Amino acid sequence: MITLKDVQNAKERIAPYIIRTPLLRVPALDDYLNCQVYLKPENLQYTGSFKLRGATNRMLVLSDEEKQNGVVCASSGNHAQGVACAAKRLGIKATIVMSKNCNPVKLENVKQFGADVVMVGNSSTEREEKSKEISQAEKRTEIHPFADDYIKAGQGTIALEILDDEPNMDKIVVPIGGGGLISGIAVAAKGIKPDITIIGAEPQSANRYSESLKVGKPVKVENVNTIADGTRTERANLGNLEIIKKYVDILTTVEDEEIRKAMKLIVEKAKIVAEPSSSLGVAAISKNSLDIKSDDKVCFVISGGNNDLKLLSEILANKI
C-alpha cells in the first residue's frame, strides 16, 4: 500500500511536467449541492485529464533499458493520452491498446502525441490481454492505468494541492473507475488531515467497488455500459479495494441520467466543461442522499474534460 511519502515524492518528481491546476471556489453551485463548493479542474491539465500525473511519475522511474525498449498500456482514453504525452516528452516509444468503442476525441489525441495505437474489442479485459501480449513479445514495460503504485502516487498529488490551497477542506469527492485516483487521493489526504471525509462515486452500471465491498473481495461486473467511458473497467483491483476499505468513508453510485444532469449543471453554473466520468461526484451529491452540511467545504475532483463532442451537444440540448 502506498504512503503519504510516496505521494510527496511523486509531487517533486512530476512538478516540471504537469500543470498545478487551481482550486476554484464556485459559490454558484452552493445552493444546488448544499455545501461550499470547490472544484479541482483537472480538465485544464495538459492532456485534459489527471492521468498525466500518474503516467509521468511511472515513466520517470523507468531504467535506461526499459526506456529503450518502450512502453505499452491498455486504456479507454485518458490514461492512453497521459502515457502517450509522457512518452513523447521523454523520448520513449509507446504502444496504446484501445477499445473499438472508445471516445473518438481521446483516440485522436493519442495519435497526435505520436503513439502507435492498437484497437481491440470493447472490454477492459480484452484491452488488458492484448497489452500483456505486446509487453511480453516486445519486452515493453506495461504501464497499468490503476494497479501500479507509482500511478496511484502520481494521482494522489491532487490531494496535496487541494490541501495546500485550502487546509480546512472538509470533504473530497472523487469519481471512481479503476480506483487508482481515489486510492492516491485518499492516502494523501488522510495522511495530512485524518479527519477529512473521502467520498467515492461510481456509475450504477459499473459499480465494481460497491459490489466488492459487499462481499469483501474484488468482483467482476458483467456488461459494463455507461456514458462515463473513463470508468468502463469491469473488475475491481485488490490493492485499490484495500485502500478504499481503509480510507474511503462513503461510496455511492449514480445513474447515467444523473450524470447527464450533473454535466449540464457544471457547464451552466461553473462554466466548466467536464466529461461524464468527471461529473460523477457532482451527480452523487445532487441526489441529496449523503450527509452534507451547508457550511461544509467540499472539493469535487473534475478528473477530465475530454468529451465526445456529439454526446456533449446532445446532453446540453437535452436530446438524450
Q: How far apart (Å, rounded) are the C-alpha atoms in residues 308 and 240?
A: 28
**Residue ranges with strand state E in the chain:** 24-25, 36-41, 71-74, 94-98, 116-119, 141-142, 171-175, 197-203, 250-254, 297-302
Sign of the CA dihedral running 89, 93, 98, 103: positive
- Residue 53 backbone phi and psi in degrees, to 5: -60, -55
**Beta partners for residue 172, in sequence order:** 198, 299
User: Which of 55, 53, 45, 44 shows the shortest CA–CA distance to 80?
Assistant: 55
Which residues have C-beta within 8 Å of that of residue 129, sequence separation ≥ 6?
none
Select which of 51, 130, 171, 261 is catalytic.
Answer: 51
Q: Grid coordinates representing 320?
A: 438524450
CA gap 315, 320 in Å, rounded: 6
What is the rounded (10 degree) CA torsion for 75, 80, 82, 87? 130
Active-site residue flag, 220: no
Cell of 186: 485518499
Active site residue 261: no
Specify whether the CB–CB gap between 224 and 232 falls below 8 A.
yes
The residues carrying an active-site annotation are: 51, 303
